[in-house]
Amino acid sequence: MDLPVMPPVKPMLARAASAIPPGMLYEPKWDGFRALVFRDGAELEITSRNTRPMTRYFPELVEILLAVLPERCVLDGEIVVIAPGGLDFEELSQRVHPAASRVDRLARETPVSFVAFDLLALGDTALVGEPLARRRAALEDLLAGRTGPGVASSPPPGSGPADTQLPPGRPPAGVYLTPATDDPDLAADWFRRFEGAGLDGLVAKPPAGHYEPDKRAMIKVKHERTADCVVAGYRPYKNDPAAVGSLLLGLYDGSSLLSVGVTSAFPMARRRELVGELAPLVTAIDDHPWARPGGSDGTEGADGAATRTPWDAGESRWARGRDLSFVPLRPERVVEVRYDHMEGPRFRHTTQFVRFRPDRDPLECTYEQLERPIGFEIADVLSGSGG
């Protein structure tokens, strides 16, 4: 591979802001794996935000990129799973797996797409020193007529990852150009509406800015909300069992207490204090709502769905090799936490501790308190019909 911009390259990053800044180019913030794509003829390499190779995990995407992209180019973008209900990060996280057989199977069952939002090189020309406005125009020209769902070839059934025998409602993989606008009012409308399709905010970029690898030269604005949750247990701190590592949070769905996430940012002194404060609430696991692993033994919630418990984390690659045991607590204490958005029944990211709420009744900690995003089709976002 011989390109004007060669791997490894760390992507340009964003710093957080609480409001949409003026005078910027605005794009939806995609919820997936950040990725740089390097193509030189028949060679194609996909690298992660930390410059790790990711090519082997997405064979269906490699095939499409080779068919869609010009012979020599470097793109920045996001790898996403587009599910019938919007973006699905949980399914995307399962795609990074060491077993080649599983990679091939998931490439057929949950194909990924690539959403491009920057162009670092084209042909023999490096574009990192060009202003964003020119890079964006070049990216639009490059992908004109090339974007959308599809596969690069049509091999015989069962012969490879391009054989997309997908479940009903599952769109095929594709390459897309992210929408962009310089209208802050339209960006604010996107911020409000696009969350219903699984996007988690906006990214604002200076139109005259150069591409600065590993620098926080962009601005991200994410949804921020608070919720009252039941403290149903805690995990000890990894290096000090006499300190709290994280509080396990629950919300009631009918009569069932579902595990929704954790909060964990405490000073060490406070972690040790919490062990003493929570000691009167410690109970036997057999008397706890999360006594059994709901996702594996058929425990059901009020709506008939499998009850989410901390044991379900064992299904995720993120939990591989991690001790999932916890100290069960009687669900009598309430904590207020700050969160950005939900993914299914759980908080998408680790929440931020705000305060304990002794004035709150744990039984009032239900999903009904949560703000529901407006439903929005991901296809409308990608097609540019979102505004």
The catalytic residue positions are 29
Q: Where are the beta strands (DSSP E) in 131-280?
A: 148-149, 174-177, 202-205, 216-221, 225-237, 240-253, 256-263
Closest CA to 172 of 76, 61, 68: 61
Q: How far apart are CA 33 and CA 216, in angstroms?
A: 17
Q: How far apart are CA 128 and CA 138, in angstroms?
A: 12
Q: How far apart are CA 40 and CA 217, in angstroms?
A: 28
Q: How far apart are CA 247 and CA 210, in angstroms?
A: 42
387, two tokens: 């505004």
Residue pair 288/327 in contact by the 8 Å Cβ criterion: no
Q: How far apart are CA 180 and CA 30, in angstroms?
A: 12
230, two tokens: 């039941």
Beta strand pairing call for 216-221 and 13-16: parallel
307, two tokens: 């009850």
Residue pair 112/58 in contact by the 8 Å Cβ criterion: yes
Closest CA to 30 of 136, 139, 119, 112: 112
